[in-house]
Amino acid sequence: MPVANYKQYCEMLDRAKKGKFAYPAINVTSIATLNATLKGLAEAKSDGIIQVSTGGGEFASGTAIKDMALGAIVLAEACHTLAARYNVMVALHTDHCHPDKVEKFLKPLIAETEKRRAKGLPNLFNSHMFDGSELSLAENLKVSKELLEICTKNEIILEVETGVVGGEEDGHDTSGVSNEKLYTTPDDMLTVYETLNPIGGRFMLAATFGNVHGVYKPGNVKLKPSILKDGQDEIISKHGQQAALDLVFHGGSGSELSDIHETLEYGVIKMNVDTDTQYAFTKPIVEHMFKNYDGVLKIEGEVGNKKLYDPRAYMKKAEDGMAKRIVQACNDLKSTGKSMLSGAVAA
């Protein structure tokens, strides 16, 4: 099935919200991780979201070029081609784009979609994330509003963030922020709704409730999923049930399953999974190298074993490892077996 169009993506999100499940949003950085994601979703018979970060896009463009927008385009175009061979629905998304990268990442990708639409082609990406959490809420929403207006014209969903997700991702370190910034307030969520809803386009909110990027030891940061309920209640009490937000769970790797399931009750329809899938991809490679040390290296004048140092030998294992972790993510988020389509890999 080709990548979802705008109507199909909206239907995906509506189904998740009504059914109280969420889609795993998997970061990809290469064709190998893209294939692993598609394989995992297909095995789980789950629709899902495939996303590219600024760092992932830069890596995908090659170490000689380092163009984050170009790399994102390459991965998105590959996904449009490969996804057509799978019988699950996927949407394409870009992850955390901080204010200093809007001009060289977000806007060029939106412009690329505008070019495609002018030619009658489908959107390159279905949604983009602007992470203005380092700004004041007023400045964050000012930029978010401008971007949502552009996105709405092109049938693109915008994801925004309030509060700060702790930890480090793609070189952006927020580990030094004060604890209160890790928790979005009900007033913040209401302000987001009242600022962005009048534009008429669809948007998602990554509201923070103690989330941290990366894996952290239990007790290091206290997750408070009830914050999401408090914010939704504030919005609903003033604007009605239909105003409930589409929420996103960032920093989901390593979270307790009970916390994940609680967030589904409060409107989380997308959870980012990156750290755990990185590990699941790398672990089989490390095992291969340790087990076949004298085969992957030419030691003491020997020639090694080409079948073992051929990258395909260990990259296949890495793909399988990551795919299995994605199946687990689908199970955790209760999206397994709930694809809008049916079956797994097309013939």
What pLDDT digit, counting tens, does each position of 190-229 carry? 999 999 999 999 999 999 988 665 555 545 557 899 999 9
Instruction: Return the pLDDT at 183.
Output: 85
303-333, pLDDT tens digit by residue? 999 999 999 999 999 999 999 999 999 999 9
230 carries an active-site annotation = no
| Mean pLDDT score, 222-249 | 95
**Are the CB atoms for 202 and 10 separated by under 8 Å?**
yes
Three-class secondary structure of residue 172 per DSSP: strand
More confident residue, 240 or 346: 240
Helices (H) and strands (E) in the chain, counts: 13, 10
The interaxial angle of helices 275-291 and 311-333, nearest 10 deg, is 150
**Are the CB atoms for 314 and 288 separated by under 8 Å?**
yes
Comparing CA positions, the residue from 256, 270, 333 lying closest to residue 50 is: 270
Q: What percent of the chain has pLDDT over 70?
A: 88
Q: What is the mean pLDDT of the chain?
A: 92
| Mean pLDDT score, 173-190 | 70
Whose tokens are 């799978």? That residue is 86
| Mean pLDDT score, 53-59 | 98
Instruction: Return the pLDDT at 223.
Output: 83
| Mean pLDDT score, 218-244 | 89
Instruction: Return the pLDDT at 216.
Output: 53
More confident residue, 2 or 304: 304
Name the pTM for this structure: 0.92
137-176, pLDDT tens digit by residue? 999 999 999 999 999 999 999 999 987 554 444 554 444 4
Domain ranges of the chain: 6-279
Q: How far apart are CA 178 and CA 337, in angstroms?
A: 41
Instruction: Return the pLDDT at 166.
Output: 45
Q: Look at residue 178 and tell me whether its pLDDT is greater than 90.
A: no
Q: How far apart are CA 147 and CA 96, in angstroms?
A: 14
Instruction: Return the pLDDT at 176.
Output: 46
Q: How far apart are CA 329 and CA 35, in angstroms?
A: 16
Residue of 47, 95, 170, 332 marked catalytic: 95
The domain made up of 6-279 has a fold known as TIM Barrel (3.20.20)
Instruction: Return the pLDDT at 30.
Output: 98
| Mean pLDDT score, 65-71 | 98
Residue 297 exposed, middle or buried by CB count within 10 Å (0-12, 13-18, 19+): middle
Enumerate the β-bridge partners of residue 247: 205, 268
